[in-house]
C-alpha cells in the first residue's frame, strides 16, 4: 500500500486522455490507416474499422487501462498481480515495447530529417529519386537523427508523469490536432491537371476514400479487409503493447474510466480518419489511384514529397507543416512506448525513474544503431511469411506485430474472460462510472 501511495499519477482526466490519445495517434495512423483504406475499398474499410473500434477495441482498451489502475503496476508486473500463473503474459507484454522502441526512434529520426529539409526550404531535394534511399543507407546521418529523436523522447520520460508526459501531451496534442485539420482542409481544396489533360480534385479523392467500393469483393477479400482493420486497431489504440496498462496505473481512483476511454476512442478515430483525408485526396489528385498503392515508409518518404513538389511553391510550406505534425505524433507515441518499459523496470527491480530511463535509453540506442546499420553494413534480404523482403527493421516489426501483440491481446481476453472473469474489470470501472448491466458487457 505504501508503494501505491507514492506512485505518480495524472493530475486530471484530461491529462490522461491527451497522453493516451497521443500514444494512439502515431505513425500507424498516419501512414498505415490511409493506405489500408485506399487498398481495401475505402468506405468498406472505414465501416469495418469503426465497428471493431466500438466493440473489440473498446473492450480491450478499457480492460488494459483498468488492469493498470486496479493493480497500480506496470505491464510486466500487472498480469502477475491479476493472476500469479499468468506472469509470463506480462513478460511478453513488456517485450513488445522493448522491440518496438528502437526501430520507432529510427523512423522518428527519418521524420526529423525530412522536417528539417522542408523547414530550411529544401523540400524539392527531398522529392528527388534516390533521396530517401541515399539517406537511410548512410553510415552516420541516420544514427545522428536517431540519437536526437531518442534523446527527445528520453528527456520527457526523465521528467516523469506530471512534468513530463502529462505536460508534454497538453502542449503537443492541441498543436497536432490543429495541424491535422489545416492539412486535411487544404487537401480537399486542391486540383491538378496531368500531362494527359485529366483533371483530378481533392474532393474526388475524398470520394475514393469514403465511398465503399465493392468491385471484385469476394469472401477472401472480405476477410482480408476484416483482418486489416483488426490489425490497424492494435496500432491505432496502442493496445497489446503494455502502454495502456502503464498509463492506467497512473490514473486516479476517482477518474471515470468509461468516460475517459470514450474520449480516447473519439480522439483516435477522428484523427485516424483525418489522416486519410490529409493523404488520400492529395495523393489521388497528383498521382491518381496508382499513387495510392504505396504504403509505410514508401508513402511517407517517397510518394508524399513528390506530391508536395507537384504543388509548386506552397508545397514546401505544406510539407513543413505535414512533417512537423508527423514528428509530434511520432514523439507522443515513442514517449508512451518508452514509459511502458521504464515503468516495468521501476516496478520489477525497484529502481528510480532516472536509472530505469537511463538503462532503457542505452538499450534502445544500441538496438537503434543496429537498425540504422541494417541498411548498409548489416544489410541482408530475408523473405518473410507475408511475402515481403525484410531487413533488420522489418524483422523486428514483423515479430512484434504478427506474433507478440496478437498473443498479448488473445491472452488478455482469455485471462479476463474465462480465468478471473469480466466482473473483475466491471467492479473496478464501476467504482466511479455508472453501472453496467452484465448483458451489455462483452469480452
pTM: 0.91
The CATH number for 16-380+407-440, chosen from 3.40.50.1820, 3.90.1150.10, 1.10.3210.10, 1.10.4160.10, is 1.10.4160.10
pLDDT at 430 (0 to 100): 86
pLDDT at 98 (0 to 100): 97
Over the chain, what HEC string results? Answer: CHHHHHCCCCCCHHHHHHHHHHHHCCHHHHHHHHHHHHHCCEHHHHHHHHHHHHHHHHHHHHHHHHHHHHHCCCHHHHHHHHCHHHHHHHHHHHHHHHHHHHHHHHHHHHHHHHHHHHHCCCHHHHCCCCHHHHHHCCCCHHHHHHHHHHHHHHHHHHHHHHHHHHHHHHHHHHHHHHHHHHHHHHHHHCEEECCCCCEEEHHHHHHHHHCECCCCCCHHHHHHHHHHHHHHHHHHHCCCCCHHHHHHCCCCCCCCHHHHHHHHHHHHHHHHHHHHHHHHHHHHHHHHHHHCCCCHHHHHHHHHHHHHHHCCCHHHHHHHHHHHHHHHHHHHHHHHHHHHHHHHHHHHHCCCHHHHHHHHHHHHHHHHHHHHHCCCCCCCCEECCCCCEECHHHHHHHHHHHHHHHHHHHHHHHHHHHHCCCHHHHHHHCCCCCCCCHHHCCC
pLDDT at 109 (0 to 100): 97
Rounded Cα distance between 332 and 340, Å, is 13
For residue range 281-290, list pLDDT tens digits in order: 998 899 887 7
- Lowest mean per-residue pLDDT among 74-83, 146-155, 221-230, 335-344: 221-230
Confidence category of residue 6, pLDDT binned at 50, 70, 90: low
pLDDT of 4 > 50? The answer is no
**Contacts for 189-195: CB closer than 8 Å, 24+ residues apart:** 190/281, 190/282, 190/285, 190/311, 191/285, 192/285, 192/286, 192/310, 194/288
Q: Residue 3 half-sphere exposure, CB side, CA atoms within 13 Å?
A: 11
Q: How far is CA 93 from CA 19, 294, 417, in A?
A: 20, 31, 18
pLDDT of 333 > 70? The answer is yes
For residue range 184-243, list pLDDT tens digits in order: 999 999 999 988 888 999 999 999 898 887 777 788 888 888 888 888 888 788 899 999
Is 180 in contact with 278 (CB distance < 8 Å)?
A: yes
pLDDT at 435 (0 to 100): 59
Confidence category of residue 294, pLDDT binned at 50, 70, 90: low
pLDDT at 106 (0 to 100): 97
Tell me the average pLDDT of the chain: 89
pLDDT at 268 (0 to 100): 84
For residue range 314-331, list pLDDT tens digits in order: 999 999 999 999 999 999
pLDDT at 298 (0 to 100): 82
- Proportion of the chain above pLDDT 70, given as a percent: 95
13 strand-pairing partners? none
Confidence category of residue 62, pLDDT binned at 50, 70, 90: very high
pLDDT of 3 > 60? The answer is no
More confident residue, 93 or 256: 93
pLDDT of 87 > 60? The answer is yes
Q: 160's torsion region: left (phi>0), alpha (psi -120 to 50) or beta? A: left
pLDDT at 442 (0 to 100): 44
Other Cβ atoms closer than 10 A to 3: 10
For residue range 7-58, list pLDDT tens digits in order: 778 887 888 998 988 888 888 778 788 888 888 888 889 999 999 988 888 9
Amino acid at each position: 500500500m505504501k508503494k501505491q501511495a507514492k506512485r505518480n499519477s495524472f493530475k486530471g482526466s484530461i491529462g490522461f486522455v491527451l497522453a493516451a490519445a497521443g500514444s494512439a495517434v502515431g505513425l500507424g495512423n498516419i501512414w498505415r490507416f490511409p493506405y489500408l483504406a485506399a487498398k481495401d475499398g475505402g468506405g468498406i474499410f472505414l465501416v469495418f474499422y469503426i465497428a471493431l473500434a466500438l466493440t473489440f477495441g473498446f473492450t480491450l482498451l478499457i480492460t488494459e487501462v483498468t488492469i493498470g489502475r486496479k493493480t497500480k503496476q506496470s505491464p510486466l508486473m500487472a498480469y502477475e498481480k491479476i493472476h500469479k500463473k499468468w506472469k509470463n503474459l506480462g513478460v511478453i507484454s513488456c517485450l513488445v515495447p522493448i522491440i518496438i522502441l528502437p526501430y520507432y526512434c529510427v523512423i522518428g529520426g527519418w521524420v526529423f530529417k525530412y522536417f528539417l529539409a522542408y523547414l530550411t526550404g529544401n523540400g524539392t531535394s527531398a522529392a528527388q529519386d534516390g533521396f530517401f534511399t541515399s539517406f537511410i543507407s548512410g553510415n552516420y546521418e541516420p544514427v545522428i537523427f536517431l540519437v536526437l529523436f531518442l534523446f527527445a523522447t528520453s528527456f520527457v520520460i526523465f521528467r516523469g508523469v506530471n512534468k513530463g508526459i502529462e505536460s508534454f501531451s497538453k502542449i503537443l496534442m492541441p498543436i497536432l490536432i490543429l495541424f491535422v485539420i489545416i492539412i486535411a482542409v487544404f487537401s480537399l481544396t486542391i486540383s491538378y491537371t496531368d500531362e494527359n489533360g485529366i483533371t483530378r480534385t481533392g474532393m474526388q479523392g475524398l470520394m475514393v476514400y469514403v465511398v465503399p467500393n465493392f468491385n471484385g469483393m469476394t469472401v477472401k477479400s472480405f476477410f482480408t479487409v476484416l483482418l486489416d482493420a483488426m490489425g490497424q486497431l492494435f496500432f491505432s489504440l496502442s493496445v497489446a503493447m503494455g502502454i495502456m496498462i502503464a498509463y492506467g496505473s497512473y490514473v486516479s481512483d476517482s477518474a471515470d474510466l468509461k468516460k475517459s476511454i470514450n474520449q480516447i476512442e473519439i480522439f483516435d478515430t477522428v484523427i485516424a480518419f483525418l489522416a486519410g483525408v490529409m493523404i488520400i485526396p492529395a495523393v489521388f489528385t497528383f498521382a491518381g489511384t496508382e499513387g495510392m498503392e504505396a504504403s509505410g515508409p514508401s508513402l511517407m518518404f517517397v510518394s508524399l514529397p513528390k506530391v508536395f513538389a507537384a504543388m509548386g511553391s506552397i508545397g514546401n510550406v505544406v510539407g513543413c507543416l505535414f512533417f512537423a505534425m508527423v514528428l509530434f505524433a511520432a514523439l507522443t507515441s515513442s514517449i508512451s512506448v518508452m514509459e511502458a518499459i521504464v515503468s516495468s523496470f521501476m516496478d520489477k527491480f525497484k529502481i528510480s525513474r532516472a536509472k530505469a530511463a537511463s538503462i532503457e535509453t542505452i538499450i534502445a540506442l544500441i538496438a537503434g544503431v543496429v537498425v540504422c546499420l541494417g541498411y548498409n553494413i548489416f544489410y541482408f534480404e530475408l523473405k518473410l511469411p507475408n511475402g515481403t523482403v525484410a531487413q533488420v527493421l522489418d524483422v523486428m516489426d514483423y515479430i512484434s506485430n504478427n506474433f507478440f501483440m496478437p498473443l498479448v491481446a488473445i491472452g488478455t481476453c482469455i485471462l479476463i474472460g474465462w480465468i478471473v472473469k469480466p466482473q473483475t474489470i466491471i467492479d473496478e470501472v464501476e467504482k466511479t462510472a455508472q453501472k453496467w448491466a452484465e448483458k451489455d458487457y462483452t469480452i
